[in-house]
Structures are given as C-alpha cells and as structure tokens.
C-alpha cells in the first residue's frame, strides 16, 4: 500500500524532519517484513510530499513480535524529532492518501471513522472486476484524508484505523494488542462515536479483549436529565445493538450524507429523542434544523436533552422540534433542502406507507432524503434475537435488502428522484450490514450543491 503524506505548511520540508529522513535523499529500509521505501517526489518551499511504500502487513504487523522497533513510522509516531523538537507539537495542514485500502463496510464506515476526528474524507471506490461480477462491489478504495493535526496524531490515527478498515487478515491478537490500542487511542478513542467498532475490529472480534478494552476507556459524558424516561421499547432496541454501536454508526453516516449534499435546511422526521438533532447542531453548515415526531413524550425528552429552553441565542434560532405525523400533509415540512428518516418507516403500518411516501416525496419534497431501516437478513447473526422476531416490539416489518431496494427504487421512479444504497455497520459477506441506507436525490431548486449519485 502506498501512503502519501503532503503538506502546504511552510517551509514544507519540515515534513522531512518530522519523518527523520533527509528530504533530498531517497531512502530504503530493510525491515523484518521486507522493504519499505521513503521518497519525496515533491519538495519545494510550498509543498512537500512524502511517499511511503508499505506492505499492509507492515501495518498489520503492529501486532507482530517486535512491532515498534520495526515499524517504519515508529519514531514519528511517538512524536520525537531530535533536530526540530518544536515541530512535533505543531499542527500542520496535512493530507494523507492511501492507495489502495480495503474497507469493510465501504464509504460509510470510512467517513464514520475519520470524520469524528476532524478529517475531511474523499474516497473513490475502485471499479469492480468485470470478469467477476459475482464478486459484487469492490472493497478497495483510494482514500484521501485532510486535517490540520500534528504528524504524530495523523500517523497514530492511521496506525489504529488501517487494520480496522481491513478485517480480512487474521492475526493472533492478545493482551499486547489491547495495550497498544489503548496507548495509541489515548486522548481520542474514548470520545470516538465508533469506539466499540474500532476496538472490535482492531482486536479481531475477540470479545474478551474488546470488552476489556472498552471497559477501560473512560468517557466523560455529561449526565442527561430525563434519560430514565426513555420509553422501554427504545431501550430494548439500544441494548440489542449496543455491542455494534450501530446507533452511532448510523448517526455518523446520516450526518455525512446530509453534509455531502450541501444541505443547509434539514428535517429530521421521526426525530425521537433528538440524537441526530444534537449532532446536526454541532455543524454550522446546518442553518435550520427541524425535528418532528408523533410522540409528545419523546419530544419532551428531546427538548430536555437538547436544552432547547436554554440554548444561547445564536443556536436557539437554528433548531426547533414540532409535534406532527408523517401520515398527514404538513406545510411546515416544505422548503427544506434535505430530510432524514432514521429507523422510522418500519414503525409505520404497511397500508399507510403510501401516505408517508406522498407526504414526504410529493409535498415536502426536499432535494435529498436520507432514509435508514434495518436489514432483516442480518438478524440471524444476532444470537440474542430469536429467529423470526423483529428487533423492536413496535416494528411493523423489517425488510431484506431486496425488499428495501424494490420499495425505494419504486418511489424514486414515481417521484422523480435518483436513489443509491449504502450499507451501515459491519458487513456480513452473506447477510450484508445491519442497517441499510437509501439516499434519494432530485435535481432542481437553487442554492444547494447538487449531490450526484
């Protein structure tokens, strides 16, 4: 795998000092796993690019015998720089490009992992091999991430996340790897919304290890008033899904899709207790946010959680929650750029779905709709879920991938939208991911960058 790191920081050659290599020379190292080459194809006062050829095993071998001595980036990772010690703590505008990265779970996972750490992510999925269409979508991506961080932070994030994306390899993992994860995760992993999934994947799905790792991560979370009033069925749903941290993955995927379409005014339909609203409020891109739900009690919890009555002035104008039903045409829903409908359709009675479809796609008709629902095929992988049962007592149905896609493509055709589908959560080779997401988009309107499927 080729890792290319660039910076526009001046003088750009500082990057060379941080990597302990003289930027004027080509270097090659003999490492236990083979050779690694570092060279600087672009060295100027304005921009410096370092290319590092890595065997993925070189990253995977963080779990090998003598990892840190061998790991090419170990010194930079530890944040040491003999010649220019002050550089180590300086956040630089850095870009890292990874060619080619195998990503289980696709772009949604990629974004879900990097974006909470402040990275802007660009990902291009490699075309699938036409000779083998039955292999399905390619797992391989060229990925570019950008952030203003210290080089040491960038490398630490990559060190943890590269093996997390690529779950094909099975290494032996033991206590050492757990300690490494905790050490490298210091300062960021405990607060990462996908920490559970990162730990599970990094520790190769060994429950004893990742549970222990997670139990040792201390999160400072502010206590939320009214948490105990969560209606019981919702709590049951959360408990079932907690080991996967699917809730968080879903939220991050939806936020990423809303961000990507350039929406400024967004609706969250069936907003529940306002978890998504809270995420949306954090991003200034979203200038106007309206949550709607049919349950007054749930809306009260949302209002308390979001502290709606105590928001500072500049925030107070941005968010509102209203009581309403998706079964009825509603003027308040018109004129928005995008709408999210997260884990809601499966709560609607099938005969009434057509009403919902018209309310949303014909009358409210935002340019983009991001909709998620469970993938029922995945249920067999949950040992705690008896066969044939739904994930939640109030679910009226749960769709297979095919059923969902049939429904969504039908809607898209009927109301003039294009639709594409993304998996959310770890993908099972046969059953797919636990949550399925559809992103509908229609052209037209003004002021928003069109999102191309």
Cβ proximity to ligand SAH, 64 vs 231, nearer residue? 231
Least distance between ligand SAH and beta carbon 344 (Å):
4
Cβ proximity to ligand SAH, 79 vs 231, nearer residue? 231
Rg (CA), the chain: 23
Measured in Å, how far apart are the chain's first and last C-alpha atoms?
A: 28
Cβ proximity to ligand SAH, 161 vs 342, nearer residue? 342
Cβ proximity to ligand SAH, 16 vs 116, nearer residue? 116
Least distance between ligand SAH and beta carbon 349 (Å):
9
Cβ proximity to ligand SAH, 293 vs 427, nearer residue? 293
Least distance between ligand SAH and beta carbon 251 (Å):
7
Least distance between ligand SAH and beta carbon 397 (Å):
13
Cβ proximity to ligand SAH, 33 vs 286, nearer residue? 286
Q: Extract long-range pairs of 73-82: CB within 8 Å, 24+ residues apart.
A: 73/19, 73/155, 73/159, 75/20, 76/18, 76/19, 76/20, 76/151, 76/152, 76/155, 77/152, 77/155, 77/156, 77/159, 78/152, 79/150, 79/152, 81/17, 81/18, 81/20, 82/20
The DSSP code sequence of 148-187 is EE-HHHHHHHHHHHHHHH---------HHHHHHHHHHTTT
Q: Which residue is nearest to ligand SAH (CB)?
A: 272
Q: Is 436 helix (H, G, I), strand (E, B) or coil?
A: strand
Residue 281: closest CA among 330, 321, 334 = 321
Give the C-alpha separation, 183 to 78, whole Å.
Answer: 11
Least distance between ligand SAH and beta carbon 343 (Å):
4
Least distance between ligand SAH and beta carbon 341 (Å):
8
Q: Is 249 helix (H, G, I), strand (E, B) or coil?
A: helix
**Which residues sit at the interface with ligand SAH, rule CB under 6 A?**
270-272, 275, 293-295, 298, 325-327, 342-344, 347-348
If phi over 0 gives left and psi between -120 and 50 gives alpha, with beta otherwise, what is residue 118?
left
Cβ proximity to ligand SAH, 158 vs 344, nearer residue? 344
Least distance between ligand SAH and beta carbon 383 (Å):
24
């Amino acid at each position: 795998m080729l890792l290319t790191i660039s910076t526009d920081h001046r003088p750009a050659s500082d990057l060379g000092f941080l990597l302990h290599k003289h930027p004027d020379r080509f270097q090659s190292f003999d490492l236990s796993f083979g050779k690694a080459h570092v060279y600087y194809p672009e060295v100027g006062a304005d921009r410096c690019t370092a290319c590092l050829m890595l065997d993925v095993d070189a990253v995977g071998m963080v779990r090998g015998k003598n990892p840190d001595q061998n790991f090419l980036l170990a010194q930079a990772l530890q944040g040491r720089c003999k010649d220019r010690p002050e550089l180590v703590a300086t956040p630089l505008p850095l870009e890292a490009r990874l060619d080619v990265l195998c990503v289980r779970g696709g772009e949604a996972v990629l974004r879900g992992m990097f974006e909470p750490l402040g990275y802007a992510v660009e990902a291009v999925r490699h075309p699938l091999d036409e000779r083998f269409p039955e292999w399905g979508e390619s797992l391989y991506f060229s990925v570019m991430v950008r952030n203003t961080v210290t080089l040491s932070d960038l490398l630490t994030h990559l060190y943890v996340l590269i093996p997390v994306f690529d779950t094909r390899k099975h290494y032996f993992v033991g206590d050492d790897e757990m300690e490494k994860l905790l050490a490298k995760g210091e300062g960021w992993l405990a607060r990462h919304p996908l920490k559970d999934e990162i730990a599970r994947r990094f520790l190769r799905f060994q429950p004893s290890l990742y549970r222990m790792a997670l139990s040792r991560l201390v999160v400072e979370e502010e206590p939320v008033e009214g948490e105990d009033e969560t209606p019981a069925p919702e709590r049951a749903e959360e408990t079932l899904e907690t080991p996967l941290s699917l809730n968080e993955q879903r939220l991050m995927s939806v936020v990423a899709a809303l961000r990507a379409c350039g929406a400024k005014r967004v609706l969250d339909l069936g907003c529940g207790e306002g978890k998504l609203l809270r995420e949306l409020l954090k991003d200034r891109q979203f200038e106007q946010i309206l949550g709607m739900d049919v349950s007054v009690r749930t809306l009260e919890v949302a209002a308390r959680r979001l502290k709606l009555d105590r928001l500072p002035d500049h925030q107070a104008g941005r968010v509102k929650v209203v009581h309403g039903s998706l079964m009825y045409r509603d003027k308040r829903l018109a004129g928005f750029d995008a709408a999210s409908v997260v884990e809601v359709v499966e709560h609607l009675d099938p005969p009434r779905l057509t009403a919902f479809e018209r309310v949303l796609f014909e009358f409210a008709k935002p340019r983009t709709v991001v909709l998620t629902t469970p993938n029922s095929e995945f249920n067999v992988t949950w040992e705690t879920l008896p066969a044939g049962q739904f994930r939640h007592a109030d679910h009226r149905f749960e769709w297979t991938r095919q059923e969902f896609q049939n429904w969504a493509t039908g809607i898209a055709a009927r109301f003039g939208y294009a639709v594409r589908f993304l998996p959310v959560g770890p993908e099972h080779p046969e059953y797919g991911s636990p949550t399925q997401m559809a992103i509908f988009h229609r052209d037209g309107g003004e002021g928003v960058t069109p999102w191309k499927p």
